[in-house]
Structure 1
Amino acid sequence: MTATATRPPDAAPPATGGKPARKRERQGAAWVFLSPWVLGAAVLTLLPMAVSLYLSFTDYNMFDAPRWIGFRNYTQMFTEDPRYWRSVITTLTYVVIAVPLQLLLALAVAIALKSVKRGKGFYRSAFYAPSLLGASMSIALVWRAIFNDGGSVDNLLSGMGIDIGGWINKPGWAILSVALLTIWQFGAPMVIFLAGLQQIPAELYEAAAVDGASWWRQFRSITIPMLSPVLFFNLVLQMIQAFQVFTPAFAVSAGKGGPADSTLVYTLYLYDRGFTASHMGYASAMAWALLLAIGAVTAVLFRTSRAWVFYANDNNEGAR
């Protein structure tokens, strides 16, 4: 006879599924900690985006109920509004001027700071300060005064025999004054460049110096390839920010985009249509067009990065 073990009726059942239970507990704890971000993203980002997308297909003046008009806002924007295309051209001009010059200045200062032995923290903070201050309306108003008739720039150039006048009153110069304010705020990309430069092995420069490579050859063959991922990151980040420029153009032109729409950047015209003319449906359509344009430009940058962005683990075959 074979004895069979029996379990008392009041005994607890054997534990099963211990690992899945612990996994569910960890997932539950993770969602608890993530819930503020998820709630904030849903309420403050996703829901407004959905409402904006709906309004882009309506005629809405913020006072009456939205009236569905289909693609009318988009067709008017692309085919019937010459100021819209002027704002596009002005924004592209600003981006082409501001982004490359800002990155070049940031890289030059980062290279200079890398060789500084004493007071590096002070210089780094001093060059980063404009990035903290430049986005404020007060600094933009000071910038307007500097480039106005009789301002510091006008007086300086007049003393050198160059009579241009106030830049903000000249259609050909006004957008340059706006771009210079962005270029002046090179602190954030400079810090990123400096961090990237410090990660380049010094042995590469030492070997190049032994082989007789000049400073320019070292810069072209070592610094730029090794720094290309950081350069790509800064380019994408600054490009996205440049397409959304608003405060400098608003302050320099007193919210009008003048003279002759020379500072009418895209977001300033969007603001004018939405809050000045109360065409919120049209402004929503402009916002979505801008989002798609930024997405397309970013996709092109990522696509072309395969030809010039190199990583250490890719054996110089480009980004994957």
Structure 2
Amino acid sequence: MSLKVIFAGTPEFAKLALDAILAAGFEVPLVMTQPDRPSGRGMKLQPSAVKQAALDADIPVAQPLSLRLDGKYPEDAQAAKALLESIQPDVMVVAAYGLILPQWVLDLPKYGCLNIHASLLPRWRGAAPIQRAIDAGDAKTGVTIMQMDAGLDTGDMLLVHEIMIHDEHTGGTLHDDLAEAGAAAIVEALTRLPEGELTPEEQPEDGVTYAEKLLKSESPLDFTQSAAVLARRVRAFNPVPSCTMMLPGLEQPVKVWQAQALNQTTQAPAGQVIAVSTEGIDIATVDGVLRLLELQRAGSRRQPVATFVQGWQLPV
């Protein structure tokens, strides 16, 4: 059976899933995505990654401001409802779409709405599961194909693909690995769905955590935390929202793109620079030493520490 799939998504994570669905031969009569946003130095309106992929594949695109019939943009919602009802989709696939789906959307497709969520539910429900998993020191994560309901990532689980988190993973590289896993998982789910081969599994009540939205206020490194915790934070927040800190002699914060926790102790106060070399800038923490390996001055490019220290002189 060939499913008629409505796809709703916005960023690169979702684009990979759309590409995989199209490559697998599923019919996609409509793509829904967020309205174009200003971006770049000229702040010109730019299409989302999903919209661009849909246009390249000659698929019609809808960009409603809201899907709530009783919300702020009822005209958008009514137009979207009429469009979806005219298509009569078998299923809607949702990946990082950015709009809340009201009940009328959840009920409309024959098989409901399937969400690609970048965590092993019920751990890390919410907005930033990829970064929070690294930040918390999780050993593994993955993607969950979930039957959507009215709650926040609370629906029944249909399919799970696990991924181990290694010490080199950043928020960016883990995002890419999970995007590929999500693309493969949704194709498998759509293939098995019509045959009744997916058994919904209710999420357990134990182990629920929430991945709060990333805030710029979390960027400054707090050296009253341990070196191990800070090294994970640097990895998790690379590339967004990035970690920052002040260095002596510089008027603006620098971004820290790479750091490692050294297996050594120090009696120096937390936040103090204790060593500078081409191998790293060592900072005392409340527990251990954090070595900075890649940094970026305001208005400059990323630099390995060996290059950075040539243009920075530590005040006496």
Instruction: Name the TM tier (shorter chain).
Output: under 0.3
TM-score (structure 1 length as normaliser): 0.21
User: Larger % of helix: which?
Assistant: 1
User: Larger % of strand: which?
Assistant: 2
Structure with the greater alpha carbon radius of gyration: 1
The higher relative CO (CA closer than 8 Å, separation ≥ 6) is in: 1
TM-score (structure 2 length as normaliser): 0.21
